[in-house]
A and B are shown apart, each in its own frame.
Chain A
Amino acid sequence: MIPSSLNPPQVFQKSAKRDVKEVPFVELADGRLQGVISSGSDIQRVYVAYFEARSLNFYCSTNNNRPCGGLRGSPCNHLISLLGEGIKQFGIPGILKYLQSAHDPTTITTIGDLLKIAGHITHQAHGAIFSRFLGSLQLLELPLSALPLPEMDWFAGGA
């Protein structure tokens, strides 16, 4: 058997269509499912929220580190939106695996199941999440390239 240079299908999977207006940013990074959620009322404001690996503890605050008013013991609507969009992008199994959840993945199939196993409020804001969001937006400001890029042959597919 001669091995393949191309993407194994489990890595290159298409996700469901994301709603970037509500949740412009969601990622699995730094041991968290984390992201940025738009404020329903104020276009200048965004919320930064996350679930941590293992404990699935969570937090939500504005990008100026003010705690989210909706956070009272259980995940607020921002965290629920974050989880919903995270599921679209990575799938429930992908999230459970990355967050190293000890729960049997076959028993967790809906966003409701995920919310049931969520942990506690951490009261700990992570500035890095918002910086990573800005970093990803910076990618969109980089110029196009019109030169050949054979290296992308390793990433065939899509569109």
Chain B
Amino acid sequence: MLAAEFHASNQLIQAIDQLLLAGFTNLNHTHQTTLQRLAQVYRGTPLEAAMLSVATDLSNGVFQPASFGLLAVARAALQTAQYDQLALQLRAQLGRPTIDQPLPTTAALASTPPLLSSVQHWLMDLAVMGFARLEPAMINAFTPTLAQIQANPEYLRTAALLAGWMHELVLQPEQLPLFRWADLWTRAMLSTLSISATPPMQSVSGTLYPLGFEWRQHATLVSWVLYAVLEAEAAPQLATITQSAYKVAAIQDDQLWLLFPEANLLFESLSTGKALVLTNQQLLAAGQLIWDAAAATLGDKYDLLAVAERHFGLNAKQPLAQTQLAPEQRHPIHLAEPIVLSNYQLAQSGEGSSLSVGEQRFKLDLAAISGSEIDVDVLESAQRLFGLLRFDAGEWFVRPLATSLKKGKPLFIGLENGKVFKKAPKNNAVGILKERASRLLREKS
């Protein structure tokens, strides 16, 4: 059950989105009221004075990037509150501890670098015009800036969002996904307001038990997150490893793995069920390992589902806490609570599929598993899975990442495609295109 506050904040978010849809040169009376409501919501907060003046400026057609930056902050803060509320509710329900770790401080940029300033101006132009009236010329005009942002690793977050969104803007879908696009607009704007400096790291040694990969991708970027349990000197903890690589649209499916040579060892660990012994790997405070395959070797056998169940089962013997994202990054879409479900009842209906354990019912993320190694049939006979509880469109759902039909033989998302490490494909798009790149780009210079 979602709390009334969630619905109230969601209503306000959707009202803001109507402004982005219509465009700030076309505000009607309802839109003007939304700006006033927004200013009211922030009364008594540090943003009060700034929000009031932004609401007045935007109502009067005074457009500056800073005003739209603050509008993005206002929309994002509502989602931060939603994230906090949902996370608390879920942890309480699952009986998991919460960690109050010191939050990383993100310094606002004293002055905006020229490239990020171009991004802000373009995002402002889109908002002023309105998502409903975007012209291809306006979208294409951003291409050269995007290429420059992509070339600078410091701007990866901005580039990742904008490259994916540009691809959608160009395709002009029949039904404009307003909420999603407003999210992307907001996060892109936020990403120009601060740069997270390289966070402090510490060196760890210990044993890593990989539990599953989650893949994310758009036309020009692919990224995976490995969820794992890390047993270092201290108590066991949830650890994640992320790698991201630029790509071109023609690189797909199994070829994607070839962009990540260092993932080979993680894949081998998962597919053979052998834990990894880490020596001096770098670990960020929030539990993210900076993967270095050279500092890891295969170790003893482990039972993926047994390890996962001990820490993430519904009645886990040793429940693990998860560290919080920095406040400016919190958004319900980032909620990803590891979970193991056992002895479930799988029910399929016209509205989708769900897994029930006792009184608890979990909606199944069918889109994530259809055609995968762990489709509904496999899950039906496996009776146990490791996955993530995620939240979107007002509901929680389980996105399965791994299961097993035979003890000690893990099945996981990516298992089939990862076989590419053992046997390179005949038509290796990554190899062919990289070879082209090296020839043509050198020739040019």
Residues of A at the B interface (CB closer than 8 Å) are 1-12, 14-15, 17-21, 24-31, 89, 94, 97-98, 134-159
B216 near A157 (CB under 8 angstroms)? yes
Q: Pick from B50-58, B84-92, B326-334 the stretch touching chain A.
A: B326-334
Q: Is there contact, CB below 8 Å, between B432 and A141?
A: no
Give the complex CA separation of A6 and B179 in angstroms: 9
CB-based contact A27/B156 at 8 Å: no
B170 touches A158 (CB 8 A): no
Query: Complex formed: what's the CA distance from A97 to B172 in Å?
Result: 9
Give the residues from 289 to 345 in chain B that come closer than 8 angstroms, CB to CB, to chain A. 290-291, 325, 329, 331-334, 336
Q: Are B291's CB and A94's CB within 8 A?
A: no
Complex CA gap A30/B367 in Å reads 32
In the bound complex, residues from chain A placing their C-beta under 8 Å from that of B168 are 7, 11
Count contacts on B: residues with CB < 8 A to the other chain: 91
From B10, B167, B248, B436, contact of A139 by CB (8 A): B248
CB of B70, distance to nearest CB on chain A (Å):
20
Complex Cα–Cα for A30 and B170 (A):
10
Do B150 and A139 touch (CB < 8 A)?
A: yes
CB A65 to nearest CB in B, in angstroms, measures 15
Beyond A11-B177, A20-B432, A24-B436, 10 additional contacts (C-beta under 8 Å) are A8-B177, A10-B174, A10-B175, A21-B427, A89-B250, A138-B151, A141-B438, A147-B288, A154-B180, A156-B214
Tell me whether A4 and B441 are in contact (CB under 8 A).
Answer: no
A141 with B437: in contact, given A6-B392, A10-B174 (CB under 8 Å)? yes
Residues of A within 8 A of B10 (CB): 2
A5 interface neighbour in B180, B284, B414, B440, Cβ under 8 Å = B180
Contact B222 A145 (CB under 8 A): no
Please tell me if the beta carbons of B180 and A7 are within 8 angstroms of each other in the complex.
yes
Q: Mark B229-265, 1 if CB is under 8 A from A, else 0.
A: 0000000000011111111111011001101101000
Q: Are A151 and B215 in contact (CB under 8 A)?
A: no
Please determine whether A145 and B217 come into contact, CB atoms closer than 8 angstroms: no
> Shortest Cβ distance from A16 into chain B, in angstroms?
9
User: Is B191 engaged at the interface, CB distance under 8 Å to the other chain?
Assistant: yes
- Contact: B240 with A140, CB < 8 Å? no
CB distance from B286 to the nearest CB of A (A): 8
A4 in complex: contacting residue of B160, B173, B392, CB < 8 Å? B392
Q: Are A24 and B160 in contact (CB under 8 A)?
A: no
Q: Mark B125-161, 1 if CB is under 8 A from A, else 0.
A: 0000000000010001000000100110100110011
Residues in B neighbouring A148, C-beta threshold 8 A: 240, 242, 284, 286, 288
Q: Which residues of B from 1 to 45 have beta carbons under 8 Å from A?
A: 10, 14
Query: Please, which residues of chain B bring their CB within 8 A of the CB of A12?
Result: 218
B223 lies within 8 A of chain A by Cβ = yes
B187 touches A151 (CB 8 A): yes
Say whether B444 faces chain A, with CB atoms less than 8 Å apart: yes
Are B183 and A154 within 8 A (Cβ)?
Answer: yes
B246: A residues at CB distance < 8 A? 139-140, 142
Q: Is the CB of B160 within 8 A of A27?
A: no
Q: Quick check: is B279 within 8 A (CB to CB) of the other chain?
A: no
Q: How far is the CB of A7 from chain B (nearest CB, A)?
A: 7
Bound-state CA distance A131–B356 (Å) is: 54
Smallest Cβ-Cβ distance to B223: which chain A residue: A152
B61 is an interface residue with CB less than 8 A from chain A: no
In the complex, residue of chain B having the shortest beta-carbon distance to the beta carbon of A16: B252
Using Cβ atoms and an 8 Å threshold, which residues of chain B touch A158?
A: 215-217, 222, 252, 256
Whether A20 and B433, one on each chain, are in contact in the complex, defined by CB atoms closer than 8 angstroms, is: yes
Which residue of chain A is the closest to B160 with respect to CB atoms? A151
Q: Which residues of A contact B277 (CB under 8 A)?
A: none
